Every structure is written in structure tokens, then in C-alpha cells.
Structure 1
């Protein structure tokens, strides 16, 4: 009997330790964002600061190589939240596209659409390059490996009949790409991000830039082939020296949450997002287009859905 009692006590102690460890780990939520130089990182830091002010669960911002990397880390449980491109989220959830042969689990849901991202193709103002076709034979940064920018860049180049045999593709983060464009080591860089991206602003001010349009039949092919894309524009005056609108394609940035996070936790985090919309827009310098995000083919988290229902927002209805 004594032996059984000792075993029972040991099991109870072990269970209590597991619960305590889970509770401790449950206090901090890791939020995945792309690297320094893009809007995701700025959003993540500002959102985490708002959450800290509310006294709720702590958000710990973690940099990743980009959307694909964030989705893999979210699926594996290392991250509990992530900011990613809608097209990448859709592919990961459905195990298509870049994730067709991946073992990524669809154990995540959406919290909200955040804003429209535009595909920027940046060259130096003195480069003499005016079209995507003229990138043939050039050295081009297509973003980091495992990033949404990399996928967009490859798809855009392919729409213009270009591939790695015709263009020298290099994988650089935004910061390194900007440095190498300024120094002339590369001829162009791709960046899928919100308009008025800090890295592009700094380039425009330091060496002068031009933005290549994505339009015509190439844009039509992209819009037909990839449902997550939409017609976009980089408005005149977005960057120093840019005096005309630049047509391009865009994709939504979305905020995802692990299905392991409780309904109450995600509901509170969604409230923080909506309550802080004015602050976030000011810090980011771009308009947020908050909405339930059920149109991208990934279910809405139960906690976010509860928030939307309580605040009179129907599924699919924007609420900026």
C-alpha cells in the first residue's frame, strides 16, 4: 500500500510540474515576423507594445526569414502567432504551391487581414532599366529564401518569360539588398511590403530609385493564375522622386494564430488589435484594412470569430 501511495504521490507531483511548466510557458506568445527592413517587423513591435500596455499575455517578437519560414515555425509549435502573406498562408493550409511536398500541418487559423502589400521592384534611378523584361542578364535580389517575396519574385519573373537561366537571382534580406543596390553589386531588388517601406524610403533618399511596373498581359496572367493576388498600385509620391503611379500586383498581409491558443486568449488579442488601430496606422504610415480574413481560404480562429460576432461584424466584412 505504501508503495502504491508513493507512486500515486509521484505521479501527482509530476502532473503538477507539467501543469506548472505549461502555465509558465503559456504566459509568453511568440509572434513571428520577417526580418528588419520590412513592415512586418515594425507592426510586430508596435502590436507587442500595445499588448503590454493592456496587461495581457506578453507577445515576444521573433524575426524569421519570411512568410514560408514563419508558417513552418507556426505549424511546428515554435511560434504561436505570425504575420504572413495571404498567398503563403493559403498554400500552407492547403499544402499547395511552395508547400505541396511539405509536412506543414494546417493547425492554425486567421485572426485578421491587416493591410494590402504591393510588389515593389526597385532599381537605381540611373540604371536605365525601365521594364521587368530589361532585367534579363541582370543580378536581382528576390528576397530571402523561404520568404513570400521570393515566391512573388519568381512568379512575376516567370510571367515575363524570365527564369534563373536568364536572370541571376540572389537571396538577400532587405537590408543587405538595399546596401548592394546602392553600391551597384546588384541591379534590382524585389520587396513585397506595405507602401512607404522604410528600406525603400532610405534608398530613394540616398541614391534615387525607380519602380518597375507589373502590368499588361503579365499582370493579367498572374491575377488569373493566383487567386490571392489583386491589382495594386504604388501611388505617386510614395517615395522621393516618384512622380507617377506605378501599377503592380498586391497581396494581403494577415495575422495568424495557432489553434493551440485558447478562444479567450485570441479574443483578447483581437481586441488589442482593433483598439489600437489608430496607433498602429500612425506608426506604420499606411492604412490598415482590418477584417475577419475568411476570404483567403483559412478558417477564422474561434476567439477572433467571437470578437467579430460581439462587435457586429459579419464574416468577410471589413471593419477598418
Structure 2
């Protein structure tokens, strides 16, 4: 009887210590439809399952970066994407998360730069950030990275206090529809370019992008270490004839700590093996490599990712340096 009980407990332990190939379906937190997270997640999981039929995925729509971090920490998803600024806030419990720490996950790889995009109709009178005063603006879905970035941009521009801007929390699809219908005047979108929902809007409605001016850029880069300057090149979107000056943050692929090392190592290898395929399938600038993917990450890497990078001659740590 004791021997039988020991065997049962061993099997239960194996089941709970993470998923290996074929053991279970990997729940992938992908944010909302129309954004780069969802497009990337779909492309990655399709390529991964074609390469290894033992891998199974369930791509789940979520509210975005902040939501993915909470879902990872509470074991509702196994893999997800989030912005590096929010990851640092959540992992170390900064005021953005009311001092509460959300742990239980680690890094696989840095992916691509996400541009802070502010979209208006071409016929709009809005030409600068200051022109957003007294306008109705979508700042992204609740618990999204877009919401955080939009709030910080509006604060840096002196537009957040005293209800100078009427804000709405809309996902990208609803924001694009309401902009076209005249229900809102502008929407924020922090995403890799070319963002699917923005390009679809540009194909049947004339749109423009608002630059983030140098004054606002300097304030934000001085206050938040994860912002960097970014230019959306002309002709990235249909009808976009001028470069757009803005800011960007890095997106990072994450995995729960209790996922098996073998599984995460395999996912990491597939990520870089198909890096060029993502560019073709998503029609976006997603040119990343192992060296760049390990830079600027302030949280531990998953042991499976560490094992992959070690084989490539790159040393990263699975230990919390803080």
C-alpha cells in the first residue's frame, strides 16, 4: 500500500511540475485581435506545431500586457507576451502595480520594438499632442500596455489632469471602428509595426499619425528607462507619406517558471529558427537574433531558455539578481 501511494504521489508531482512535449496544451496569452501580439502568437504557434506535432497550443485573447502578467502569475496561461516596462513594474512591484509583485514567470526572449502610435483621420484638425485637448481619445483596453503608455504620454504633455482629454478604454478593433464612425477623435496603439488593425483601417479610410514631440520624448525618456526613440518609416502603412517620430518599448516572450526546461528550450529554438518566417508571414519588421533578444531584460530567464542560449555561446541567468 505504501509503495502504491508513493507511485501515485510521484506521478502527481510529475504532472504538476510543468508540461513536456505532448503532456498538455500550452495556453498562449496573445492580447486582442488586430494587434501584433495576436498576429505573432498565431504565426508562432502555427510554425511550432508544423515543426513539432507534439506541441499543442491554445491561443487566448487577453486584455494585453498587464493582463498577461497577472494571468501568468496566477497560472491561467503558460506563455505570453508583454512590454518590458510593464514586466519590470509587475515583477518588482512598482507603484504602477500598487507595490504588489507578480512573479511565477521568466523570460524566453526579447522580440521586437513596439511603437507608440497615435492615429487620427486625415481630415482631423488634430496635428499635435496639444490638439488632443477637449477631444475623445481611446487609450487602449484596460490592463494593456497601450493604456500605460498613453497615460504617461498624456501626463508628460500636461493633458491628463483636470479632464483635459476625455478618455475611453477600447481595444484596437473597437477603437478603429469608432474612429472611422466619428465616435472618437483619436486612438493610441502600442504595437509592432505594421499593426494589422491600423493597416486595415488605412486601406479604406485616410488616416494620419501624430508625432510625439521632442519635449515630451525627453520627459518620458528621463522618467522611464525602457522608452527609446523610434521612427515609423514613410510608407509603412497605406497612404502614410511621411516618417512618424515616436517612442517605443521592447516586447518580451515569457513562460511560467514551472514549464519544463525541455519544452521552453524547444520553444526558444523554434523562435529563432523561424525568425525570418515571421517577417514574411506578418509583413512586419521583426528582425531579431539571439544577441539582441537577451539585452535589456531585467528579470530572470527561464532555465530552458538559458540552456538554449548557452549552446549559442550566450550567458544569461535564471537567478533573480535583485
State if a TM-score over 0.5 links the two structures. yes
Change (3 A) 1:294 1:263: farther
- Residues 184-216 of structure 1 deviation map (CA, whole Å, 9 limit, x = unaligned): 000000000111111111111212101000121
Please tell me whether the aligned partners of residues 306 and 315 of structure 2 are also in contact (alpha carbons under 8 angstroms): no
RMSD of aligned Cα (Å): 2.1
What is the Cα deviation at residue 27 of structure 1?
2.1
Q: 2:248 aligns with which of 250, 262, 278?
A: 250
Map 1:129-208 → 2, pairs under 5 A: 129-163=126-160, 165-208=163-206
Greater C-alpha Rg: 1
What is the Cα deviation at residue 259 of structure 1?
1.0
Please tell me whether the aligned partners of residues 107 and 255 of structure 2 are also in contact (alpha carbons under 8 angstroms): yes
Q: Secondary structure at the match of 1:295?
A: coil
Q: Does 1:44 align with 2:41?
A: yes
Partner of 2:304: 303
Q: 1:111 aligns with which of 98, 102, 108?
A: 108
In structure 1, distance between residues paired with 2:57 and 2:196: 23
Please tell me whether the aligned partners of residues 38 and 174 of structure 1 are also in contact (alpha carbons under 8 angstroms): yes
Please tell me whether the aligned partners of residues 294 and 315 of structure 1 are also in contact (alpha carbons under 8 angstroms): no
What is the Cα deviation at residue 22 of structure 1?
4.5
- Range with greater deviation from structure 2 (92-101 or 288-297): 288-297
In structure 2, distance between residues paired with 1:23 and 1:295: 29
- Residues 103-144 of structure 1 deviation map (CA, whole Å, 9 limit, x = unaligned): 52x221111111111000000000111001100000000000
- The count of aligned residue pairs is 309
Partner of 2:237: 239
Please tell me whether the aligned partners of residues 90 and 101 of structure 2 are also in contact (alpha carbons under 8 angstroms): no
Partner of 1:267: 265
In structure 1, distance between residues paired with 2:11 and 2:305: 31
Partner of 2:284: 286
Partner of 1:18: 12
- Residues 138-157 of structure 1 deviation map (CA, whole Å, 9 limit, x = unaligned): 00000000000000000001
Partner of 2:58: 60
Q: Secondary structure at the match of 2:296?
A: helix
In structure 2, distance between residues paired with 1:296 and 1:96: 16
Change (3 A) 1:167 1:201: same
What is the Cα deviation at residue 101 of structure 1?
3.2
TM-score (norm 1): 0.91
- Residues 202-249 of structure 1 deviation map (CA, whole Å, 9 limit, x = unaligned): 111212101000121111000111111100111111112211111000
Please tell me whether the aligned partners of residues 123 and 212 of structure 1 are also in contact (alpha carbons under 8 angstroms): yes
- Structure 2: 5+ residue stretches without partners: 318-322
In structure 2, distance between residues paired with 1:103 and 1:217: 32
- Structure 1: 5+ residue stretches without partners: none
- Range with greater deviation from structure 2 (68-77 or 307-316): 307-316
Q: Does 1:312 align with 2:313?
A: yes
Q: Secondary structure at the match of 1:279?
A: helix
What is the Cα deviation at residue 102 of structure 1?
2.8
